[in-house]
Amino acid sequence: MGFKVESVELKCLTIDFHFSLNRYFYNCYRSIFITINNVKNLVIKRCFSTGLISATQTTNLLINGCLLTNDGTDIQIGDGTTSNGCSGVVISNNITRDIYVTDNNTDITKVTNNTINISGYGNLRFYNAEFENNIIAGPNANGYYNFYNCTNIDYNVFSGAIPVNNNNSYGTSNLYSQSSNISSGFVNGNSYATDPKFNYDAGYKVISGPASGHGSDGTDCGAFGGQFPYHLALQSTVPAIYQLSVPSQAGNSLQFTISTKSNN
């Protein structure tokens, strides 16, 4: 299934997909390909996608809190030509395996607080990006990421070798693990290495290890940290009822209590 947004200026449009009624995503995949061209002011939030999200000629795009499991590239910003470059792009708090920020975008793309599991399908490439508070992990992470002309690469946890310096600006608070697997700090530990589809998103919540509290704001690196953390099971932003108290006996007048919580 495909979804295309083209040639429109929006005051603010949020595309909010919710395909699973369960907290876990077993056998519940949807192939969603989102193509964005010549659009202003677009938010893609809490989306579960097994397809590519691609953007060209786009201004002010936010991709936040998504679960992305494409077998190739999950997110591509720009296509390498100046005429199709993007600006004002923020990619934050996603669980994903591959992000490609091409060259010739018109300004810095901000990539922050993402949990990126390079499971052999993806190859991270970033041009002119700000890269902060992310976790790059996975059994094939070593050597599978490239940065070019990037600013403020800091407060990240890298699994594998230090990225090659291609005219980048590195901070002093990055952490590197020469082991290709730093999964011991995740809830589900080593099992993520055999679960590239991210069926169980709660398993990628940090409980210990180098990413715990290592973000620039003192929260965890990865999707569950920062100002707008990932919500388990991509829970809708509308308030949810989590408890209902009713009397045990029937009568003409009943008093009951409904407890709700915000999911902003």
The reply to whether the predicted model has a pTM over 0.95 is no
Greater confidence, 90 or 20?
90
C-alpha to C-alpha distance for 198 and 70, rounded to whole angstroms: 11
Report the pLDDT value the prediction gives residue 119, as an integer from 0 to 100.
58
> Of 25-34, 96-105, 106-115, which one has max mean pLDDT?
106-115
Report the pLDDT value the prediction gives residue 130, as an integer from 0 to 100.
92
What per-residue string of b and e applies to 240-260 under the rule 16 or more CB within 10 Å gives b? eeeeeeeeeeeeeeeeeeeee
Based on DSSP, count helices (H) and strands (E) in the chain, helices before strands: 0, 21
C-alpha to C-alpha distance for 186 and 239, rounded to whole angstroms: 28
Structure confidence by residue, pLDDT tens digits, 95-110: 887 888 888 887 889 9
In contact, 157 and 178? CB cutoff 8 Å: no
Token pair for 77:
């910003």
Would the pLDDT of 20 be above 50? no
Greater confidence, 158 or 163?
158
Structure confidence by residue, pLDDT tens digits, 202-246: 778 888 778 889 999 999 999 999 999 998 877 777 777 778 888
